[in-house]
Amino acid sequence: MESSNPSPDTKVIFDLLEAFRGSKAMFAAVKLGVFDALEDAPKSSVAIAAELKANADAMGRLLDACVSLGLLRSIAGLYSNSPAASIYLCSSSPRRMTGYLNYSNDILWKMWGNLEDAVREGSHRWKQTYGWDGPIFSSFFRTEAARREFLLGMHGYGQVSSPRVVAAFDLSRFRQLVDLGGATGHLSMAACQRYPSLNAVVFDLPGVVPLAKEMIAASPVAERIRVQSGDFFADPLPAGDLYALGRIVHDWSEEKIDRLMRKIYDHLPDGGGLLIAEKLIDEDRSGPLSAHLQSLNMLIVTEGKERTVGEYESLLKRVGFAEVQASRTQSPVDAVLALKRGTK
């Protein structure tokens, strides 16, 4: 006899069951060079398979999956890139995110396989997955090519989010931005483009500096941005009235972040500010899903986590900041602005 109680909808279960397959299909297509092969002209699956030295039937299945995922188009047996694939998934695009996608495929994919142990032990999985025991970020910057490709991927990511982060608050009162751990300078470039009276310093590790200079030199605001090498934990900070931490706070332990916040606060003049770009968790912790998944990613990869606005407010006010504002940007990261006492 059939139960009178209807069964719960299975859609969420099956969607999540298959979610990793869609991610891996995109990663594989990037890795194999599918989107690069299709950037010049539409091609058949047989032609792409021959060009990329792949099995024709298997390549056809991957291409069809990418069509269903919205990454490719197919007309009369010829495949072509979607606009999003052309911009973000082709290695020739200045806005490409392929470096971060390859990092996700080559590094994160294996580390997420140890999520259960990360939850049991509350620590990252570098040692378990790869046997690496040194500083976290030096581990996947083992070659210059790996460093460059990862940073270019993050640059593409930043080009999506940074313009919205710097527009989240009126920053026109500030004159000197110091972009700590600023990588390729995407946040500094977005800020200087939006605020004509602003100058910026991108402050990052020595290995990052050459690419930062290269990317900034191609920017229309290059004359207002300089690059300086240094470790924000160990070295003196450049002077400024606005400091920025873009996707930095979520990397580190509470103790290290507390130390960095105090250091920034001490370097700021009265009325100075700190701009933080991170994904914000809802105060009741009901979402958004992207923030919770990112927080799990931080557990697996780093010492840190994502936070609520209330948690940022507590963190910032205990080092002396007087006012904390937050803004949802509808981009991959949100924005928090903290002001030092003396702001008019």
By annotation, the residues acting in catalysis are 250
Q: 3-class DSSP state for residue 57?
A: helix
Query: Three-state DSSP class for 276?
Result: strand
Neighbours of 205 (CB within 10 A): 16
Q: Is 78 helix (H, G, I), strand (E, B) or coil?
A: strand
Mind giving me the DSSP string for 166-229?
HHSS--TT--EEEEET-TT-HHHHHHHHH-TT-EEEEEE-TTTHHHHHHHHHTSTTGGGEEEEE
Residues 44 and 80: their CA atoms lie apart, in Å, by 9
For 337, phi and psi rounded to 5 degrees? -125, 125
Instruction: List C-alpha distances in Å: 64 to 22, 60, 79, 158.
Output: 12, 6, 9, 30
Q: Judging by beta carbons within 10 Å of its beta carbon (0-12, 13-18, 19+), is residue 187 exposed, middle or buried?
A: buried
- The DSSP letter of residue 235 is S
DSSP string, 141-175: --SHHHHHHHHHHHHHHHHHHHHHHHHSS--TT--
Contact 74, 63 (CB under 8 A): yes
Residue that has been written with the tokens 């982060």 in this structure: 165
Taking phi over 0 as left and psi of -120 to 50 as alpha, with beta for the rest, 114 belongs to alpha
Query: Dihedrals φ, ψ of 94, to 5°?
Result: -65, -15
